[in-house]
Amino acid sequence: MPTLAIDLGLKRIGLAYSPDDRLALPLRAIIRKNRDQAAKAALAAAAERNIDKIVIGVPIGGASEGEMRRRAERFAALMGLAIPIVYQDETNSSKEALELAEGRLGKTKDGRLDSLAALVILKRFLEREYARVYLA
């Protein structure tokens, strides 16, 4: 089931893609100008890959969880897709993305770090799904 993961940010939106629920790949990030432009760009990325499911990162259990979930829901509504949308804990995903980059990205603002964070979110989701199926 092709899946798109989204790491929502105010300036950049990281994207990652799984064509088969096994492989996970970072995609080019969206440089956010406004909500509508960002939602259209994410929709285009989803349509190009025939996405069946979207995973959006939200900080689970933190003080900002409610506000971030509302933002994620608004963004998903702007995309206007009639496919399942799943929320995955994104806690420390940016930190893990920095570790994956092994210092090669520095302070770049081109969105590669954001897409690596989306990759972390997607991998977490896929691992959770594997565990759910395995334990069923």
Instruction: Give residue limits of the domains in the chain.
Output: 3-135
CB 17 within 8 Å of CB 55: no
Residue 133 pLDDT:
81
Identity of residue 71 = R
Distance CA 45, CA 77 (A): 16
Distance CA 69, CA 66 (A): 5
**pLDDT tens digits in sequence order for the chain, 136 residues long:** 899 999 999 999 999 999 999 899 999 999 999 999 999 999 999 999 999 999 999 988 877 888 888 999 999 999 998 899 999 999 888 888 878 777 666 667 788 899 999 999 999 999 998 888 878 7
Residue 125 pLDDT:
96
Residue 83 pLDDT:
93
Q: What is the pTM of this model?
A: 0.90
* CATH code that applies to domain 3-135: 3.30.420.140
